[in-house]
Amino acid sequence: MAPQKKIGSEFIYPIKYYNDLPPVQYPPKLLPVTQEINNSDSKFEKPSLPLDSISEYEVTTLEEALPYSALVDSELGMPLDLISMGLFDLSENQSEIPTSQNLNNPAKFDKTDLYLLGNKSATDKASINLSGQNPAIVTSAMMPPAKNQTVSNTNSSTSNPSKSTFHPSNSQTSLPSSFSRNRNQFGLLMKPGQDNSAKRPFSDFEDSVHGQKKVINQMMEESFKILWDQGYKKRKLESLRNPTNPRAKAVDIIPLFPNKKIWQNKYSIFTFDELPTLPLTDSEDFKELSNNRPNEDVQKLLDSGYNSCSLLRPREQPTSFGNNVIWVEYFLPESQKSVIQLDKKLASSDFGKSVFNATEHENLDFKLTKEYEFSSNILNSKQDFYLLSIKKNPDNTPAAYYCPIKSRFILKKRKPRTKLQSESKDPMAVSLISVSFRSPNDTDLDKESIAWKELGTLDPNL
C-alpha cells in the first residue's frame, strides 16, 4: 500500500515570549452629540433636543469589533439571537397597518418629527422641499371648517393670507413599499397568505424610555434563564426554525475568549508545499504489515509517523558571495519499530516507567528525506491567523480560546545546490540521526533550569 502524499500540511511553533496582553476587545463607542441652543435672533430657530431622546447603538460582536470577517456555512443560515428575536414584531392587537390617511393627523407624530413638519410661514425658506418639489401649502380657507369652528373664525383666518400651515403631501407621507407587505415578516420576505404568528409569539414594544427599560429587563432575565436553566435553553433551541433550510437545527454556541495564559507567546505558522515520503514504506516489515492488518491500522501508523515522529533541523551556512544560506532539513523514522516505540514513549505520562528508559540497542533512527527553503517574504502585516484551542471546563462545559499568530512562512523544496555550493565544505551535514532515551542527569537538569530562566517566568506545561 503506497502512502498518499500530503499537500499543504502545516504546523505551529512558538518562537518568542515577549508580547503584552491584548488591548480591550470591545472599546466603548460614544456618540458625539451636541445640544443646540435656541437663539431668538436667528432667522431659523433650532430646538434644543433632550439627549435622552437620542439612541446610542453599539456593536460588540467579535466579528464586527475585529477587522476580519467570520465565515458562516450557507446551509446552516445566519446565526440567530436567542433573546432579541421578534423584538420589533407587531403586536396581535395591532390589527391595522399605518396608512397615509392617518399619518396626516399631527397627534400621530413624535414631537421631534413635528418640528420637521412644523407651523412655518409660507414664505419661509425652510419650508422649501429639499428634493426640488414644492410642498403642499394648505391655507385655512382651503380646509373644510371643523364642527366646532364658526364661519367668522374662517373669515378671520382668510383675511390674513400670509399665515399658512405646512402639511405634508401624499407623496411625502406615503409609506415605503416595504411597509405594505405582510405585517408578520421579520428580516425575510414572506409568501402571500403565509402567517408566522403561530410559530413565534409577538412581543409588545413601547418606543419610550419606560418601554425600553422594560424590554431590556426582560432580555436580561431571559438571558440569565437561558444561562442557568438547561431545560429552558433546550426548548428555546428546539423552537427555532430556519426559514430556508428545514433540516437545519439550532445548536448552542461555544463562547470564544482570548487565551490570556499563552497570549505572551509569539507564534509562527510554517506551511510545506509537499511532505516527503516515509522511508519505512520501503521496508519489508511495512509490506508485511500492510498485507496482514486492516487499512485503518496502516493509515494510523503513517499518520503517527508524520505527526509524532518528525524531526526538523534548521540549517544556516555562511557564503562568501552573498547572504547566508538558510534551509530546513526534514527527518522521518526509518522503520515502523521506531514509530511504535516513540509513540508509546510520548503517550506515557509517567516518565519513571520502563517504557521510557529504553536501552542502548533500542535507538530510534531518523533518515534525512527532504530539504526545504523559504519562499519569498510574505506581507505578514496584512494576514491575520489565530490559534484556536477547545477544552472542557471543570463543570464539563466546552470553552474555546484564541491566540494570534503573528507571522507565516511557506517552505518549498530546496533547489539543487550549485557547483560552487557543493564544493564548499559542510561539517554539520548528516544523513541519519540516532536518538536514544535515558533518564536526565544533573548536567541535563542544570541546562534545562538555565534555559527556563532565560525565557522568564513561564509555565512549562503551556
Q: What is the DSSP string of 181-241?
A: S-TT-SSS---TT---TTTS-------SHHHHHHHHHHHHHHHHHHHH-HHHHHHHHHH--
Supply angle C-alpha 381, 387, 392, rounded to 5.
155
Which of these ranges, 62-71, 356-365, 405-414, 416-425, has the smallest mean pLDDT?
A: 62-71
What is the tens place of the pLDDT at every residue in 296-354?
777 777 877 887 788 888 888 887 777 788 888 999 888 777 777 776 666 554 433 43
Please give the distance of CA 371 from its chain centroid, rounded to a whole number. Answer: 37
Q: Which residues pair with 364 in a beta bridge?
A: 435
Amino acid identity for residue 280 in this structure: L
Beta-sheet pairing, 10-17 with 265-272: antiparallel
CA distance 434 to 414: 24
- For 401-418, write each residue's pLDDT tens digit: 888 887 778 888 887 766
Query: Of the ranges 33-37, 76-80, 107-111, which one carries the lowest mean pLDDT score?
Result: 33-37
Grid cell listed for 151: 364661519
| pLDDT for position 197 | 46
**Cα-based distances in Å from 289 to 194, 200, 310, 415:** 63, 60, 21, 35
Cell of 138: 394648505
Nearest residue to 85 (alpha-carbon basis) of 218, 278, 273? 218
Residue-level pLDDT at 88: 53
How sure is the predictor about 225, in pLDDT bands with cuts at 50, 70 and 90? confident
Collapsed DSSP state (helix, strand, coil) of residue 22: coil
Amino acid (one-letter) located at 213: K
Q: What is the average per-residue pLDDT within 218-234? A: 83
Tell me the C-alpha distance between 69 and 101, whole Å. 45
Angle between helices 295-307 and 336-347 (to 10 degrees): 70
Q: Where are the domains of the chain?
A: 256-455
3-state DSSP assignment of residue 416: coil
In this prediction, residue 455 carries a pLDDT of: 67
Q: CA 392, CA 384: separation in Å to the nearest integer?
A: 26
Q: Percentages helix, strand, coil for the chain, rounded to the nearest 5?
A: 30, 15, 55
* Range 233-252 average pLDDT: 83
Q: Provide the pLDDT for residue 267.
A: 77
Mean pLDDT check: name the lowest of 104-108, 156-160, 310-314, 346-350.
156-160
Residue 218 confidence (pLDDT) above 80 = yes
What one-letter code names the amino acid at 194? Answer: Q
Per-residue confidence band for 199, with pLDDT thresholds at 50, 70 and 90: very low
Q: How confident is the model at residue 448 (pLDDT cuts 50, 70, 90)?
A: confident
Mean of pLDDT values over 237-254: 82
Could you tell me if 261 and 299 are in contact, meaning their C-beta atoms sit under 8 angstroms apart? no
pLDDT band of residue 431 (cuts 50, 70, 90) is confident
* Spatial CB neighbours of 274, under 8 Å, sequence gap ≥ 6: 5, 6, 7, 413
Instruction: Decide if pLDDT at 95 tops 80.
Output: no
Q: Is there a contact between 48 and 37 (Cβ–Cβ < 8 Å)? A: yes
Helix (H/G/I), strand (E/B), else coil: 20: coil
Q: How far is CA 368 from the centre of its chain?
A: 41
The arithmetic mean of pLDDT across residues 18-47, rounded, is 50
Q: How would residue 140 be classed by pLDDT, with cut points 50, 70 and 90? A: very low
**Residue 317, strand partner residues:** 325
- Which residue in 169, 201, 170, 181 sits closest to 93, CA to CA? 201
Find the distance separating the first CA and the last CA of the chain, reported in whole Å.
38
Q: What angle do CA 222, 203, 243 make, to 5 degrees?
A: 90
Q: SS3 for 122? A: coil
How many other CB atoms sit within 10 Å of the CB of residue 139? 15
Rounded Cα distance between 436 and 318, Å, is: 31
pLDDT band at 230 (very low <50, low <70, confident <90, very high): confident
* 313, containing H or E segment: strand 311-317
| Chain centre to alpha carbon of residue 140 | 59
pLDDT, residue 112, reads 64
Contact 362, 436 (CB under 8 A): yes
Quote the percentage of the chain above a pLDDT of 70: 45
Give pLDDT, residue 282. 75
pTM of this prediction? 0.41
Predicted confidence at residue 122, as pLDDT, reads: 39
Within the chain, how many helices (H) and strands (E) appear?
A: 11, 11
Q: What is the pLDDT of residue 344?
A: 65
Average of per-residue pLDDT across 51-60: 45
Tell me what pLDDT residue 453 has: 78
The per-residue pLDDT of the chain, averaged, comes to 63
Given this model, what pLDDT does residue 415 score? 78
